[in-house]
Amino acid sequence: MHNGELNELDVREYLQQVIWWLRADEPFFHTRYNDGEWCAMFHLRTAEQTNGAHHYTPDLCDALMETFEELTDAIIEDPSHILLGSALWLCPGISGIQEFDKYIRSKPSLLERARWTTGEVWWEYPNEVNRNVDDKGLIALFDELRMGNHHVVLVSNEGIRDVCYCMGADFVRTPPQESWKQAQQILAECVDLMRPDSIFIWCLGFPGKILSWKLWKDHPTTSHLDLGHLFEGICGNPCREWLKQKIGPHYAYQDRVLKPYVFSFTPED
């Protein structure tokens, strides 16, 4: 639907770019907007409906749309340190794709300037498997976060807290559901833990898009990775067990510590 029109980074280029920024101590912002976000932004679901973790309440949906508008305006002005992930190439019938397509086409300069990345790093759908799988690159990213002398803050529910043992990360605990109701408290805890060069890893659904953008606007020397969901499978979340199967040969649990024991890949310079 969009191929050939966008400045897209394939998954290998995308992971290498993030690792390069980390090693160069350059702040960056990464976020993902897929069909769930589209349905919220364009009010395609009722307030009684849920995506499993959040109800589509009008205030949350409006805040998400406002955040995306600010994000895209910032990309148009300077896209150099922003990566926007989106599943733009999925089948035309996916929920919200028509509305999202119309929106981004209303900003021609956005199409020209945005650096689009894949909406997922690993994807189960057969038509995505060749495009989105880069297990060595993802392991290299995990290793850089763990061993690169970075201050990492994981913002997530308790289900993936074990990642902190591996990353040496600080942890902002969020509710497993309806975290939007505690958004200001979560934001305050992030600020309390923050250092000038902190790297925030987000696993917070819709509210994470909003709060990460606010933090980056107010504290532009921090960095933000919207990849916390990738740890769910490693930590046994049933919705992403396929990830645990793929990454299993590289990581193992030992006394509640997620210990990497394969470091055999170095991204290209």
CA of 193: how far to CAs of 34, 60, 69, 182, in Å? 29, 25, 28, 17
Residue 136 lies in a domain: yes
Task: Give which of 128, 152, 131 is closest to 142, Cα–Cα.
Answer: 152
Nearest-angstrom CA–CA distance, 103 and 198: 32
Structurally, how many domains does the chain consist of? 1
In this prediction, residue 50 carries a pLDDT of 82
Could you give phi then psi for residue 67, rounded to 5 degrees? Answer: -65, -45
What does the pLDDT look like over 93-119, one tens digit per residue?
A: 677 888 888 898 898 888 888 888 877
In this prediction, residue 254 carries a pLDDT of 39
Residue 101 lies in a domain: yes
Where do we find the tokens 């038509």? Answer: 127
b/e string for 214-249 if b means 16 or more Cβ within 10 A?
Answer: bbbeebeebbbbbbbbbbbbbbebeebeebbebbee
Note down the domain range covering 187: 11-119+131-251
Give alpha helix (H) positions in 10-134.
Answer: 11-24, 35-41, 58-77, 97-105, 108-113, 129-132
Residue 265 lies in a domain: no
Where do we find the tokens 């989106």? Answer: 86
**Which tokens go with 229?**
């969901």
Characterise 172 by phi-psi region: left (phi > 0), alpha (psi -120 to 50), beta (else): beta
Please say whether the beta carbons of 219 and 194 come within 8 A: yes
Residue 261 lies in a domain: no
Nearest-angstrom CA–CA distance, 269 and 266: 9
Q: Between 88 and 177, where is the model more confident?
A: 177
Q: Between 250 and 256, where is the model more confident?
A: 250
Instruction: Check whether 235 has a pLDDT greater than 80.
Output: no
Residue 18 lies in a domain: yes
Pairing type for strands 82-85 and 116-117 reads parallel
In this prediction, residue 242 carries a pLDDT of 55
Residue 257 lies in a domain: no
Of 104-118, 123-137, 172-186, 252-266, the range with the lowest mean pLDDT is: 252-266
- 197 contact partners, CB below 8 Å, separation of at least 6: 25, 27, 150, 151, 221, 222, 223
b/e string for 67-81 if b means 16 or more Cβ within 10 A?
Answer: bbeebbebbbeebeb
In this prediction, residue 40 carries a pLDDT of 93
What does the pLDDT look like over 25-76, one tens digit per residue?
A: 999 999 999 888 999 999 999 988 887 788 899 999 999 999 999 999 999 9
Please say whether the beta carbons of 120 and 87 come within 8 A: yes
Instruction: Check whether 148 has a pLDDT greater than 50.
Output: yes
Task: Give which of 28, 7, 30 is closest to 225, Cα–Cα.
Answer: 30
Residue 267 lies in a domain: no
Residue 266 lies in a domain: no
What does the pLDDT look like over 159-218, one tens digit per residue?
A: 777 677 667 789 999 998 899 999 999 999 999 999 999 999 998 999 999 999 999 999
